[in-house]
């Protein structure tokens, strides 16, 4: 059996810098991954099947619409594998759950079948976030997701992830952008946790405003993250998951515990940022 993890993707900053004539938005984003997420298992089989288990399994499609099966199709037809997805991340949450699962499927099936990964342009057919999810290292993602650059070393930091159990579709959020051409990220420049947070505070998530208009609960999640141990809170991706950064795991655990106790219906996790 082959096992691959699909960690949660966090857009610490997400700038929308333009709109192509084909409708694709141009992005400039600092992407990191948290040490929590889904788990995929792969076993040899005569035909290709997908089973979904775990606390977030409800509502996950198991047919041709699932990105895992679409990823498998990039290797060619008539290949068999028994795939089990243990689902822990919420759906339509702005933390790359489906894209991370597809990337993990590509890695796992490449190992199972002894085949190279599909061409980069094929990966984009699965979605703009799939290429960046192939590696859990911090990266600068630009273009429509095809240009990836390793980010400078990050200080040790920990994330509190909060989703108010609101699904936010990406299309309406992008459609709600008041301005499509915005300034890119500043050149990465930080020293230590304080310097990192100071740099991040000057960046943005351009999708946060239209997402909050679509789902006001995002504002409630950001308010809940406010505290002296959380010097920066922001929405990830197109929402509705928000994150707060803490310097220590103890601070992150305490913040997550407080928020979960006050909001028992929300999805709340604390985890270190993978480096």
Residue by residue, pLDDT tens for the chain (275 residues) are: 999 999 999 999 999 999 999 888 999 999 999 999 999 999 999 999 999 999 999 989 888 889 999 999 999 988 999 999 999 999 888 898 899 999 999 999 999 999 999 998 899 999 999 999 999 999 999 999 999 999 999 999 999 999 999 888 888 999 899 899 999 999 999 999 999 999 999 999 999 999 999 999 999 999 999 999 999 999 999 989 999 999 999 999 999 999 999 999 999 999 999 98
**Closest CA relative to residue 31, chosen from 99, 122, 125:** 99
d(Cα 115, Cα 164) in Å, to the nearest integer?
Answer: 40
d(Cα 25, Cα 222) in Å, to the nearest integer?
Answer: 25
**Closest CA relative to residue 42, chosen from 31, 50, 34:** 50
Which among 28, 101, 129, 229 is annotated as catalytic? 129
Q: Name the burial class of residue 171, with classes exposed (0-12), middle (13-18) and buried (19+) by CB atoms within 10 angstroms of its CB.
A: exposed
Q: Which two tokens stand for residue 11?
A: 């857009």
Element (H, E) at 193: helix 192-201
Count of Cβ atoms closer than 10 Å to residue 92 Cβ: 19
As a whole number of Å, the end-to-end CA separation of the chain is: 27
**Closest CA relative to residue 259, chosen from 245, 247, 269, 271:** 269
Each residue's pLDDT tens digit, 34-87: 999 999 999 999 999 999 999 999 989 888 889 999 999 999 988 999 999 999
Q: How far is CA 163 from CA 92, 160, 197, 235, in A?
A: 10, 10, 22, 10
d(Cα 88, Cα 39) in Å, to the nearest integer?
Answer: 8
Question: Which pLDDT does position 10 carry in this prediction?
Answer: 98
The SS3 call for residue 274 is coil
Which among 9, 28, 206, 229 is annotated as catalytic? 9
Can you list the domains of the chain with their CATH numbers? Answer: 2-143 (3.30.230.10), 153-272 (3.30.70.890)
Question: Which pLDDT does position 152 carry in this prediction?
Answer: 96
Query: Does 9 qualify as catalytic in the annotation?
Result: yes
Residues 6+ apart with CB under 8 A from 272: 34, 35, 156, 157, 158, 159, 249, 252
**Closest CA relative to residue 140, chosen from 8, 14, 273:** 14
Question: Which pLDDT does position 171 carry in this prediction?
Answer: 87
Question: Which pLDDT does position 234 carry in this prediction?
Answer: 98
Question: Which pLDDT does position 120 carry in this prediction?
Answer: 87
């Amino acid at each position: 059996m082959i096992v691959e993890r699909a960690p949660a993707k966090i857009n610490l900053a997400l700038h929308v810098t333009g709109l192509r004539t084909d409708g694709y938005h141009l992005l400039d984003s600092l992407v990191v991954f948290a040490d929590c997420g889904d788990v995929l298992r792969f076993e040899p089989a005569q035909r290709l099947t997908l089973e979904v288990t775990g606390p977030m399994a409800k509502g996950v499609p198991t047919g041709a619409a699932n990105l895992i099966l679409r990823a498998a199709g990039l290797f060619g037809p008539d290949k068999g594998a028994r795939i089990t997805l243990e689902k822990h991340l919420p759906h339509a949450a702005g933390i790359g759950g489906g894209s991370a699962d597809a990337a993990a499927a590509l890695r796992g099936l490449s190992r199972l079948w002894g085949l190279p990964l599909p061409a980069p342009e094929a990966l984009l057919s699965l979605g703009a976030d799939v290429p960046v999810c192939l590696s859990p290292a911090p990266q600068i993602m630009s273009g429509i997701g095809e240009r990836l650059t390793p980010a400078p070393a990050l200080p040790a930091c920990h994330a509190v992830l909060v989703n108010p159990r609101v699904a936010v579709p990406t299309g309406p959020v992008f459609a709600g952008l008041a301005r499509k051409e915005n300034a890119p990220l500043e050149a990465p420049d930080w020293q230590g946790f304080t310097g990192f947070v100071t740099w991040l505070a000057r960046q943005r998530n351009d999708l946060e405003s239209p997402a909050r208009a679509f789902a006001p609960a995002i504002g409630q999640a950001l308010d809940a993250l406010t505290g002296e141990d959380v010097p920066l809170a922001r929405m990830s991706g197109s929402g509705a998951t928000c994150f707060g950064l803490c310097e220590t795991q103890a601070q992150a655990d305490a913040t997550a515990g407080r928020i979960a106790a006050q909001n028992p219906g929300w999805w709340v996790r604390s985890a270190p940022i993978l480096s």
